[in-house]
Amino acid sequence: MFKTIGPKFGRAIHYDFHTPPGIDNLLGNFDAERFADQLHNAHVEYVNVAARCNMGFSYYNTKVGKKYPGLGDRDPLKEMIDACHKRNIGVTAYINIGLDHEIAADNPGWLKVSRDGRIYGNDKFDNFFRVMCYNSEYREHFMEEIREICQYDIEGLFCDCFALRECFCPRCMEDMKRRGVNINDNNAVIAYQNKVRLEFVDDIKKAMGEKNGKIKLYVNGISWTVGAQTHAEIECLSSDPNWGYDYFDSMAAYTRPMFEDRVYMSGRFQNSWGDFGGLKPLASMQNDLYDAMMNSFGISYGDHMHPVDGFEDEVANRIGKVMEERIPYEPYIENSDNIVEVGVLIHSNDYYRALPYFSKGAARMLKELKIQYNVYDENGPFEDVKLLIVGESVRFDEKLEKRLSEYVKNGGKIIFTGPSVDHGKNSGLLDYIELIGNDPRDNAYYTVEGSSLRWAMYNPSRIIKNVSGKEVAKYINNVSNLIWDGRQAYFYRPQGGETEYSAAVLGENTACVCFDILKAYASNFLVEHRDLMKTLIDALLPEKLIESPDMPKTATAALTKNENATVFHVKSTYPEHKMTRGILEEHVYMKSVEVSLKGEYNEVYILPELTKVESKVENGRTVFETGNILGYRAFLLK
Ligand SMILES: [Zn+2]
C-alpha cells in the first residue's frame, strides 16, 4: 500500500488554467490574498494551481518556458503559494506532460509521429491533435521546468495528460531498433512506449531533487499499478457521459486497497472541463461528496479559474456549501476504510486504468444488492474477503491458481463466470462440472427453477455439464445463430429446447455461470441476471453485512470504519437520465426502511447531530429503521 505523503486529502479544489493567447490583462482582477480568502471561506484545505498549462504558457518566473505575455514581473504561482500558506492551505503545482502547444508550435520535431507519418491529427479542436514525444528534446525541457517549479514551496506536483500513444519519430524508431522492438507489432510498440513513460517518470522524480518522496506526486493517465503516484486521485466528472455515475465507485473500490491517501476529483462543471459558464446544481455536487464519503475518499472539485477574474464568487460559495457539509462528519470518516465482504478479481494492467467491462457489471450489481465489495487484481489482498467473483480478464498462472486453492481451503468462496470457468476447472475448483468447451452459439438462453421463462444470456461463453453439483440454471438452446443463408438473414433467433447442459451450477465452496453474466448485465441490466447471481451469492455467503430487502435498488449503502467510529451510510439520491446525461437537480426522499447490520451495536445515532435511533440487537445483528432520508444519511454505530 502506498503511504500518505503530507496531510491526507480531505477538501480540495483542482484548478484548470489553460489560457488561449490574446488576453491582454491576464489575472488583471485577480488578487492572491482575496483568492486565498475565498478558498479559506470555502473550507478548502488543498488547492492545485497552474505552473504551466496545456496551451504551453507558464504562470511563474521561468527561464526555459514561455511566460504568459503581459505578466511582466508578476509570479502568480508564488503569489498563490504565499497567500495560501498564510491560511494553511496546501498547494500543488500543475504542469501538463502530454500537451504543450506553444512548445509544439515552435518545435514540431518534438512531437509524436503517427504510423502514417503525421504530427497533427485531423481535428485541431481536439486538444490532443498534437502530443509531445517523450523521447524528444522535450524531455530535458520538461525536466528543467520541473526543476524550476520544485524551487517553489509546494506540497505537490500534478503532471497531467500523460497519454500512452505510439510514436514513429526518428528517435523512437532508432530506439525501438536498438531495443529490438518489432515496429509492425502494435502491442510491442505500445509496450515500448509504456517503458518510455516509466523512464520519464523516473526522470521526473530525479528532477524533483530533494522534494522527491517528500511532496505528493500525481501523474495523470498512467496506470495505478506501476508506482508512479503517491495517492489515488480519481478524475470523474460524473455528469459528463465520458465518465458517468458508475465510474467512480468501481475505481474507488479498486484503488482503495492500494493507496492510503485518496481523493475523488469531481468537478463543478455541468458539461465537462473548460465549461466556464456551467455550474452543477448543489444537489449534484452533494451527490459526489456523498459518494466520496461512502468510499473513504476525500473530495476535490475541478474548476477552471477565469483568466482575468480568478475564482468566481458564486462558484466559491457553492463549493463552500458542499465542503461545509462534510466538516461535521470528518471525525467519523477521516482515515476510514470500507468494511467489505466480496472481492471482484481482475487482472492488473500496467498500461491503462480502465477496468475490465465485466467488473463494472459486477460493481453495479453489488451496489444494487447492497453487498460491500472491493476490486482486487492478482497482486491485491483478496484473502481479506469471504467471496470472490471472477470474470473474463483474469490471467491465471501457477501462483494465482495456488493462491486461489489456498483461499478456498481456508474457507473462501468463488464464483467463476464466463471464460473464467476454464480456470476454475483447471485449478480443480469446479470438479463437480464437466467443461464441454466453447459455446458456438451467438445467443442462448436459460431457465431457473420456478419459472418457465427462458431468459437471454446475451453473451454465451462456455458449455458446462453438471456432474455432482446443484444445478441452479438450465441451458436452453437457441434456434439459430445470426447467419445469412443466401436467402434470409436470421435476425430473429428465438429460444429453442432444453439441453443436457447447465447455465449455472453450485458446488460446496464455489459456483460457476457458463456465460458472461456480468458483462451482459453491464450492457442490458436484465434484473434476472442479478437474481441469478444473488441466488449463488446467497448460497455461498448466507450472512451479509447489510440486509435491507426494502431499500430501493437506486439507494446506495456502505459501511466505513476508522479508529473512532463505525459508520453506516445511505445515499438515496441518484441522477435522472436526461437524453445522454445523468443529471441531478434535487434530492429524492427514500421512505424509511428496516436495516439489519451484522454486528452487535448497542447504540445507533444519526450523524452529525447524534440523534439516537431506536435499535435492537438480535442474533448477532443490529436492527433499526432508517427514517425517511432526503439525499443522504449517516449513522454512527456504537
Ligand atoms: Zn517519438
DSSP 232-272: EEEE--TTSTTT-SSHHHHHHHHHTTTBSSEEEEEES-SSS
CA of 355 to the centre of ligand 1 (A): 28
- From ligand 1's centre to the CA of 212, what distance in Å? 27
Predicted pLDDT of residue 1: 87
Average pLDDT of the segment spanning 318-347: 97
Which triple of cell numbers denotes residue 451? Answer: 419459472
29 and 335 Cβ atoms separated by less than 8 Å: no
Given a cut of 80, whether residue 155 has pLDDT beyond it is yes
N- to C-terminal Cα separation, the chain = 29
Say how many Å lie between the CA of residue 402 and the centre of ligand 1: 42
For residue 392, the model assigns a pLDDT of 84
CA 194 – CA 200 distance, rounded (Å) = 10
The domain defined by 546-637 folds into Immunoglobulin-like (2.60.40)
Average pLDDT value for residue range 575-594: 94
Convert the pLDDT of each residue in 435-453 to its tens digit.
999 999 999 999 999 999 9
pTM: 0.96
Mean pLDDT of 301-305: 97
Spacing, Cα 106 to ligand 1 middle (Å): 17
Domain edges within the chain: 11-162+207-330, 340-540, 546-637
Distance 134 CA to ligand 1 centre (A): 6
CA of 176 to the centre of ligand 1 (A): 10
Strands 46-52 and 615-618 turn out to be unpaired
CA–centroid distance, residue 220 to ligand 1 (Å): 20
Query: How many whole angstroms from 173 Cα to the centroid of ligand 1?
Result: 7
Distance 128 CA to ligand 1 centre (A): 15
| Dist. CA 193 → ligand 1 center (Å) | 9
551 Cβ neighbours under 8 A, 6+ residues apart: 370, 557, 570, 590, 593, 595, 626
How many angstroms does the Cα of residue 171 sit away from the middle of ligand 1?
6
pLDDT above 70: percentage of residues in the chain: 100
- Across 517-619, the runs of DSSP E, i.e. the strands, are 546-547, 556-561, 566-571, 576-578, 581-583, 589-590, 594-598, 604-607, 611-613, 615-618
CA of 117 to the centre of ligand 1 (A): 11
Give the distance (Å) from ligand 1 centre to CA of residue 166.
8
The sign one gets for the Cα dihedral 557, 559, 560, 565 is: positive
3-class SS of residue 470: strand
| Fold observed for domain 340-540 | Rossmann fold (3.40.50)
Distance from the alpha carbon of residue 165 to the mean position of ligand 1, in angstroms: 10
Per CATH, the homologous superfamily of domain 11-162+207-330 is Glycosidases (3.20.20.80)
Alpha helices in 410-501 (DSSP H): 421-426
Q: At what angle do helices 527-540 and 357-368 cross, to 10 degrees?
A: 80
Residue 396 has pLDDT above 90, yes or no: no
Q: Is the peptide bond before 608 cis (omega within 30 degrees of 0)?
A: yes
167 C-alpha to center of ligand 1: Å?
A: 5
Whose grid coordinates read 499499478?
A: 225
The rounded Å distance from CA 140 to ligand 1 centre is 14
Strands 373-376 and 342-345: parallel
CA of 554 to the centre of ligand 1 (A): 48
Tens digits of residue pLDDT in 73-119: 999 999 999 999 999 999 999 999 999 999 999 999 999 999 999 99
Compute the distance from residue 113 Cα to the ligand 1 centre, in Å. 6
Cα angle, residue 371 at apex, residues 365 and 373 outer, rounded to 5°: 90
Q: What is the pLDDT of residues 240-280, one digit of tens each?
A: 999 999 999 999 999 999 999 999 999 999 999 999 999 99
Give the integer Cα–Cα distance in Å for 96 and 589: 43
Interval between CA 63 and ligand 1 midpoint (Å): 25
Q: Which secondary structure element, helix H or strand E, spans residue 501, and what is its range?
A: strand 495-506
Positive or negative: CA dihedral 76, 77, 79, 83: positive
Task: Kindly give the distance from the C-alpha atom of residue 196 to the centroid of ligand 1, in angstroms, as a whole number.
Answer: 10
Q: Mind listing the pLDDT tens digit for each residue in 529-572?
A: 999 999 999 999 999 999 999 999 999 999 999 999 999 999 99
Over the chain, what is the mean pLDDT? 96
Ligand 1 centroid to 116 CA: how many Å? 13
Q: What is the reported pLDDT for 560?
A: 98
Confidence grade of residue 393 (pLDDT, cut at 50, 70, 90): confident
- Helix/strand/coil for 99: coil
What pLDDT is recorded for position 222?
Answer: 94
What average pLDDT does range 409-432 have in this prediction? 96
